[in-house]
Homo-oligomer: A and B are copies of this chain.
Amino acid sequence: MSNKTSRRNFLKAGVAAGAGLVATRAGAEGDPKITSVQKWAQELGDGVDHLPYGAPSRFEADTVRRNVPWLTADPISAINFTPIHQLDGIITPNGVCFERHHGGVARYDPADHRLMINGLVDQELIFTMADLMRFPRENHVYFLECSANTGMEWRGPQMDGVQYTHGMIHNVMYTGIPLRLLLKEAGVKTSGKWLLAEGADSSGLTRSIPMEKALDDCLVAFKMNGEALRPENGYPLRLVVPGWEGVSWIKWLRRLEVGDKPWHQREETSKYTDLMADGTSRRFTWEMDAKSVITSPSPQMPITHGPGQTVITGLAWSGHGTIPQVDITLDGGINWHKARMDGPSLDKSLHRFYYDFVWDGKPLLLQSRAHDSTGYIQPTKDALRDLRGASSTYHNNGIQTWAVNAEGITDNVEIS
State the A residues within 8 Å of B (CB). 1, 5-6, 9-10, 12-13, 15, 19-20, 22-27, 31, 33-34, 38-60, 63-67, 69, 75-80, 86-97, 99-101, 103-110, 112-114, 116-118, 122-128, 130-131, 133-141, 172-175, 178, 180-181, 184-187, 200-202, 204, 223, 225-228, 230-232, 235-236, 252, 304-305, 308-311, 313, 340, 342-344, 346, 352, 354, 356
Residues from chain B with Cβ under 8 Å of A34 in the complex: 114, 116, 126
Across the interface, do A5 and B123 meet the contact criterion of CB distance under 8 Å? yes
Closest CB pairs A-B (n = 3): A45-B104, A26-B124, A139-B343
For residue A52, which residue of chain B has the nearest CB?
B64
Identify which of B9, B135, B200, B305 contacts A19 (C-beta below 8 A).
B135
A409 to chain B: closest CB distance in Å?
17
Question: Given A107-B46, A125-B24, A9–B201 Cβ distance below 8 Å?
Answer: no
Residues from chain B with Cβ under 8 Å of A125 in the complex: 1, 23-26
A147 to chain B: closest CB distance in Å?
18
Residues from chain B with Cβ under 8 Å of A38 in the complex: 108, 112, 200
Across the interface, do A52 and B40 meet the contact criterion of CB distance under 8 Å? no
Across the interface, do B225 and A304 meet the contact criterion of CB distance under 8 Å? no
User: 30 pairs across A/B with beta carbons < 8 Å?
Assistant: A1-B123, A5-B187, A10-B185, A13-B180, A22-B134, A25-B126, A27-B124, A40-B107, A41-B200, A45-B104, A46-B105, A47-B105, A48-B67, A48-B78, A48-B99, A48-B101, A49-B80, A50-B105, A53-B56, A53-B63, A56-B94, A56-B227, A57-B235, A59-B110, A90-B226, A91-B226, A93-B227, A130-B305, A137-B342, A141-B344
Identify which of B10, B64, B89 contacts A173 (C-beta below 8 A).
B89
Given contacts A10-B184, A26-B116, 12 further A-B contacts (CB under 8 A): A15-B136, A24-B128, A25-B126, A27-B124, A59-B236, A93-B226, A95-B227, A134-B305, A134-B310, A136-B356, A139-B352, A173-B343
- How far is A122 from B10 in the complex, measured between Cα atoms in Å? 14
- How far is A118 from B27 in the complex, measured between Cα atoms in Å? 11
Identify which of B110, B305, B311 contacts A136 (C-beta below 8 A).
B311
Identify which of B48, B117, B227 contacts A86 (C-beta below 8 A).
B227
Across the interface, do A201 and B41 meet the contact criterion of CB distance under 8 Å? yes
Across the interface, do B44 and A1 meet the contact criterion of CB distance under 8 Å? no
Question: Given A125-B26, A187-B1, A67–B89 Cβ distance below 8 Å?
Answer: no
Identify which of B45, B79, B108 contacts A103 (C-beta below 8 A).
B45
